[in-house]
Amino acid sequence: MLTLQVFAPAMGQKSPSPFAMKAIALMQMSGLDYQIKPGDPRKGPKQKLPVLIDNGKSISDSTHILAHLKSMHGFDPDKNLTPEQLAIAEAFRRMVEEHLYWVLVHSRWVENGDIVRDVFFAAVPSLMRKFVFRMVIKQVKSALFGQGMGRHTPKEIYAFGAADLQAIADYLGDKQFFFGDAPTSVDATIFGMLDSIVTPPLDTELKRAALAHNTLKAYHQRMSDHIDLAEL
Ligand SMILES: N[C@@H](CCC(=O)N[C@@H](CS)C(=O)NCC(=O)O)C(=O)O
């Protein structure tokens, strides 16, 4: 039995991480028998979640999980894509995971820190919580600054996010999925990010930018239905 370790459900999401939601989408698309379990990133091989456990072996990183599903379980959602489509998928994946992700991090941790603190650190006694959160937020801000996104004003950060969402909506157009009638791995990536932007009950400029696109709203719903999200 395969076990997918992710952060426990929170803020209306099956797991409050775009990478965990991407991995859940991939597992659902694969049709493989698997279970979802809450994990602890500190115990994982790369101190991040998601992690897939297969026969005692831990596979960390959603991209490596997809590669493992392809090589070990014969699940390849991209097998019918042309080299040109694979190149487009790779570019969008990087945009979502290495750029739009940091806009999400800003919107959650910097602009909604109080809510995130009380949800993600609910298990920490309230007296300790502010202290623990102060340490964590320092690390998050340092990561945002190091990556570069944290050097911009909120207005500039959200303009970057809106441009990424516009590019996704424009490429998607009136197609069912990113490359037509069948979802591929880039749909799992984009779905994971959209779910993390629109599902939590946070009023963020990034969420408003996403919901302004009817295409993206319908696409998020279509992917949720396709992977049977409500049944999980
Ligand atoms: N490249 C990784 C990114 C995973 C990642 O950044 N996970 C974050 C949550 S969104 C995490 O586990 N953070 C815990 C930490 O940094 O302590 C993937 O695709 O799985």
Whether the model clears a pTM of 0.95, i.e. scores above it, the answer is yes
What is 83-231's CATH topology? Glutathione S-transferase Yfyf (Class Pi); Chain A, domain 2 (1.20.1050)
Q: Where are the alpha helices (DSSP H) in the chain?
A: 18-30, 62-73, 83-95, 101-105, 113-120, 126-147, 154-172, 185-198, 205-211, 214-226
pLDDT of amino acid 165: 98
Q: What is the pLDDT of residue 1?
A: 86
CA distance 118 to 3: 28
Identity of the residue numbered 15? S
Q: Helices 62-73 & 18-30, crossing angle to 10 degrees? A: 10
Quick one: which atom of ligand 1 is closest to the CA of 49?
12
pLDDT at residue 178 in the model? 98
Token pair listed for 22:
């991407």
Whose Cα sits closest to atom 20 in ligand 1?
Answer: 61
Low-confidence ranges of the chain (pLDDT < 50): none
- Strands of 51-54's sheet in order across: 34-38, 2-6, 51-54, 57-60
Judged by phi (left if over 0) then psi (alpha if -120 to 50, else beta), residue 124 lies in: beta
Taking the centre of ligand 1 as the mean of its atom positions, its distance from the CA of residue 61, in whole angstroms, is 8
- The pair of structure tokens assigned to 40 is 């602890």
Ligand 1 atom with the smallest distance to the CA of 18 is 10
- Residue of minimum CA distance from atom 2 in ligand 1: 61
CA dist., res. 66 & res. 4, Å (int): 12
Spacing, Cα 24 to ligand 1 middle (Å): 14
Domain residue extents for the chain:
2-73, 83-231
pLDDT digits 0-9 by tens, 154-172? 999 999 999 999 999 999 9
Burial grade of 121 (CB within 10 A; 0-12, 13-18, 19 or more): middle
Q: What is the 194 CA–ligand 1 centroid distance (Å)?
A: 16
Fold for the domain defined by 2-73: Glutaredoxin (3.40.30)
Query: Which pLDDT value is given to residue 115?
Result: 95
Q: What atom of ligand 1 comes closest to residue 60's alpha carbon?
A: 20
Protein residue with its CA nearest to atom 13 in ligand 1 = 48
Ligand 1 neighbours (beta carbon < 6 A):
17, 19, 41, 47-50, 61-63
Instruction: Check residue 44 and give its pLDDT.
Output: 85
